[in-house]
Structure 1
Amino acid sequence: MLNFMLDSLEPFIDAISILQRFDHDTADLEGSPTMFSIIISLASSPPSLLALQIMPQFFSHFSCDQLHYVNVPIAEVATIISNMERDGFYSFVFFLLANQERIAFAFKRHSQQRRWDTRQLKSEPLEPKKVGEIDYSSFVSIDLEEFRSSVITLCAGRALVTITNSEISFDVPYINREIILSKEKRECIIGGFEEGEKVISEITLFPIKLLNSSRLKRLWIFKTNDSSVIILVAPTGLWQ
């Protein structure tokens, strides 16, 4: 079972509005006892996933007994919640029904209201997408304005990233363009990488729409435990 409750619709609308920038009709919902995620696959090279991850503390109630993974019409979800807020509803409960073939919402206008207005949408159970476990022991942190400027300068859809204990570089070999950010020059913060250690991976620079959000201040870059994938994390600062 997966269900959660929010006492205000606005924070959740703000959260999913970030994903709506990418004009996807569907998204994958992943629920676990420690996290709720909305995931979309980007049509980019290399193949990339964009995930909005929300911790249980964000919700006024959160319950999940095991890992659940379903595909849902996220555009319809956003429309329903926005319309209900416009019509004066202020709180809602989300349910993933037992067979995982439908999701349900229940809305009410005020705490004394006994009757809930409900909506249901189809969902489709899926196999979870695995991108590897994040290694939080090492990281790179970049001011978002600095990173946004670098993406604009590179003017490419993807870049080869190299991280050492002193710098991070973004290289686009086919147009002979490279940007290096140095820890010594305070252009970035690097922690946890040993001297002589080097991590190399290719990343997409496609989600520039995400980087234009005024909520985001810094970008954090982590590697997976096996160093095979680089993960970009942008805390949104959303809370109730």
Structure 2
Amino acid sequence: MKGYQVLAHKVVFNYNDAFEIFKNKATTYGALNRLEKQNLIKKVRNNLYVTINPSTGYAFATKYQIGSSVNKDTFISHISALEYYGYQNQVSYVCYVSSSSRFNTFEYEGIIYKHVSIKSHKGIISPSYTELIKITDVEKTVVDSIQTIGSIISLEELIYSLEIIPKLNEKKIIEYLEDYNIQALYQKTGYLLTLFNETLMLSEFFFESIKKRIHKGVVYISDDAKQDGIFIKTYQVVVPKWLAERG
């Protein structure tokens, strides 16, 4: 059908994208209705569509492409970004999406798309060899995830990711920590990254920079640390016994 090939190349599109093809309001709505009835496109939510592969009956778009297209500045973040990079061992049925403008949670094809507020929009990239995906870089993802331990990501899930991340750019980590400017986040980040520094190979200067931002005040790294927690003096953080025993 006329216009379908162009839309199929877009993978995810909205009304304005379709209007550019069909050039007329009535023609555009008519074409969208016909394509949807023929199962060549599907409506994901208001003003967001995906094109369907006729041979499979499924959308060409991935959940990361859909999440990145909810509105003009949405991007994949937190544990969903870790999953995209291959740093999670389970596929989640929730896709966490951040943007400056909030949207209501919605579901499409078994995936729930949830908005997450985020303080800074630094560190957003478009990965090479992909289309339509906007996502936080690894360093921003790590900092955001540490900030949301217990709400979006569990401590165990984050530990799994930190075990397999091969490297981190310490200048970026410091930059993103400065954006948050929260002492508790410095404490948690310093402690957690120390545990994995044999592989991350962050400098002593990096850890000293973090320590300089820590003054009086003890923080619990997670809720279970309140039950059998062990105090780590260097970062004034209380951590679960199982984590402290790692070293």
TM-score if structure 2 supplies the norm length? 0.23
Q: Relative contact order (alpha carbons < 8 A, sep ≥ 6): 1 or 2 greater?
A: 1
Name the structure where strand makes up a greater proportion of residues: 1
Query: What's the TM-score once normalised by structure 1's chain length?
Result: 0.24
Q: Which has the larger radius of gyration?
A: 2
